[in-house]
Amino acid sequence: MPELGKILIVDDNKDVLFALNLLLEPYAEKIKVSVSPDRIETFMRTFQPDLILLDMNFSRDVVSGQEGFDCLKQILDIDPQAVVLFMTAYSDTDKAVRAIKAGATDFIPKPWEKEKLLATLSSGMKLRRSRTEVIQLKEQVEALSNAGNGTEEEIIGESPAMRQVFDTIEKLRDTDANILILGENGTGKDVVARLLYQHSPRHSQPFVSIDLGSIPEQLFESELFGYEKGAFTDARKAKAGRMEAATGGTLFLDEIGNLSLPMQAKLLTAIEKRQIVRLGGTQVTPIDVRLLCATNADIRRMVDEGRFRQDLLYRINTIEIHIPPLRERGNDILLLAEHFLRRYARKYQKEMKGLTREAKNKLLHYDWPGNVRELQHTMERAVILGDGSLLRPENFPLQALPAPTRKETENLNLEQLERQAIERAMRLCEGNVSRAAERLGITRFALYRKLEKLGL
């Protein structure tokens, strides 16, 4: 018996609707019928049929079939992948050819033969499934391409803290567990996530990442779960979300601490049920993803304060990996500095061999609030502006934060202290919001909110 999914039948003859409904009910998932073509758009958006049986001739124009062609255009504007089967008692070769050229899948004459009708519908359903699979494959190929085109960073370090990270990653090589990566901004959480993906059983499947710290809250749902055409003002066509595109592979949710409580609930439901519904849609889509999540926030403190769901935390942190800040990694600072020096010397075609002893001491005694990312930017700048074969202390205009004065120590007003910290960070970073956010240990989106709140 054929499995025909959801079928929409549009015909102005109630007897035809009754007969087709009775005939197809044993084979279809659901059937909706309508005597009026005016309701097609509503059914397309709410019912989302797999197959559409459309009468070619309605009462306004009983023989030419033009009204049916108008309806076909409306359907394909809403869903270009729709499978539409025309029906008419006035069948002829010219109409059949015109129908196919206009985008119809096939042509069914009235009265129909049961076996031939079921065979035509079964073929139409196979076409519908293949079209859906092609779209998913295109999205996954794009995700795979993005994963492959990403700069393949290596994790460099010999400190005890980093050796512990390496040991954990090695133990996770053949597992499919959900992992939570913790660490300050700039420590390389995204690099660890990509390394975990490359050494996992899903390495040949898509790697899809989403930075939740850079997406406005109102767009979280559409980015994660996707949306149907018309779901909101700018939704001119349907789009799969990141979870759907990552099916079979790995989904990396960076800065997951930025998810609002309502979105946390929806993410938890998707993880538990292993299915999603696009924004503005009703169709359930199964998903199969491995979750890698990262945050620079104190996630357990957020749980205690009611800002992060404990049940979601249990779901995403089967294993936790803590990335140490650069200031706690000792001589790793110099290993990384020399690595970046070689990289940027090649990139900018500079004959640079290394750093002087004084330059090394300066790098070792700096606090690196922006961690590895700040060191990388510092080395790139030094190579671009530096002369000679060695980098010297003057090539690194690092501004260590001064010790607090007595007056600052005694000022415990949180709002004033926050304002002072933000103003100083913005001055040190010459108004660059991204760098200032890194120094402050918050996301760029959070810093924008604070700047607006404080009127800065």
Q: In the chain, what are the domains?
A: 6-131 (3.40.50.2300), 150-322 (3.40.50.300), 328-395 (1.10.8.60), 406-454 (1.10.10)
Over residues 179-192, the mean pLDDT reads 93
Distance, in Å, from the CA atom of 4 to the CA atom of 82, rounded to the nearest integer, reads 14
Q: Which of 108-117, 305-314, 315-324, 396-405 has the lowest mean pLDDT?
A: 396-405
Q: Which of 144-153, 286-295, 330-339 has the lowest mean pLDDT?
A: 144-153
Closest CA to 181 of 56, 279, 284, 319: 319
Higher pLDDT pick, 278 / 408: 278
The continuous run of DSSP H or E covering 259 comes out as none
Q: What is the pLDDT of residue 406?
A: 40
Is the alpha carbon torsion for 72, 77, 78, 79 positive or negative? positive
* % of the chain at pLDDT higher than 70: 87
Residue 451 has φ and ψ, to the nearest 5°, of: -60, -40
DSSP state of 296: S
Confidence of residue 59 (pLDDT cuts 50, 70, 90): low
Higher pLDDT pick, 363 / 58: 363
Biggest alpha carbon distance in the chain? 94
The answer, yes or no, to whether residue 332 has pLDDT greater than 90, is: yes
Confidence of residue 388 (pLDDT cuts 50, 70, 90): confident
Residues 93-102 have pLDDT tens digits of 567 677 778 8
Is the alpha carbon torsion for 237, 241, 242, 247 positive or negative? negative
Residues 336-382 have pLDDT tens digits of 999 999 999 999 999 888 999 999 999 999 999 999 999 999 999 99
Cβ-count burial 360-397 (b if 16+ within 10 Å, e if not): bebbeebebbbbbbbbbebbbebbeebeeeebebebbe
DSSP string, 316-373: H-SEEEEPPPGGGSTTHHHHHHHHHHHHHHHHTT----EE-HHHHHHHHTS--TTHHH
Confidence of residue 407 (pLDDT cuts 50, 70, 90): very low
The answer, yes or no, to whether residue 335 has pLDDT greater than 90, is: yes
Q: What is the pLDDT of residue 4?
A: 83
Q: Which of 105-109, 199-203, 204-208 has the lowest mean pLDDT?
A: 105-109
Q: ∠ CA 149-152-153 to the nearest 5 degrees?
A: 150
Q: Which of 6-10, 98-102, 243-247, 315-319 has the lowest mean pLDDT?
A: 98-102
The answer, yes or no, to whether residue 230 has pLDDT greater than 70, is: yes
Conformation bin of residue 208: beta by default, left when phi > 0, alpha when psi is -120 to 50: beta
The answer, yes or no, to whether residue 148 has pLDDT greater than 80, is: no
* % of the chain at pLDDT higher than 90: 38
The answer, yes or no, to whether residue 139 has pLDDT greater than 70, is: no
What integer best gives the mean pLDDT of the chain? 84
Confidence of residue 391 (pLDDT cuts 50, 70, 90): very high
Q: ∠ CA 80-81-82 to the nearest 5 degrees?
A: 95
Closest CA to 226 of 238, 209, 241: 241
pTM equals: 0.60
The answer, yes or no, to whether residue 129 has pLDDT greater than 90, is: no
Asked if 332 and 326 touch (Cβ cutoff 8 Å), the reply is: yes
The answer, yes or no, to whether residue 250 has pLDDT greater than 80, is: yes
3-class secondary-structure state, position 27? coil
Q: What is the pLDDT of residue 63?
A: 55
Over residues 137-151, the mean pLDDT reads 51
Give bridge partners of residue 259 from the DSSP assignment: none
* Amino acid present at 126: K
Residue 312 has φ and ψ, to the nearest 5°, of: -70, -40
Do you find a cis peptide bond into 26, omega within 30 degrees of 0? no
Higher pLDDT pick, 42 / 336: 336
Closest CA to 161 of 324, 20, 365, 360: 324
For helices 444-454 and 414-428, angle between their N-to-C axes, nearest 10 degrees: 120
DSSP string, 189-230: HHHHHHHHHHTSTTTTS-EEEEETTSS-GGGHHHHHHEE-TT
Cβ-count burial 225-261 (b if 16+ within 10 Å, e if not): bbbbbebeeebeebbbbbbbbbbbbbbbbbbbbbbee
Give bridge partners of residue 322 from the DSSP assignment: 182
Distance, in Å, from the CA atom of 183 to the CA atom of 194, rounded to the nearest integer, reads 15
Q: What is the pLDDT of residue 58?
A: 67
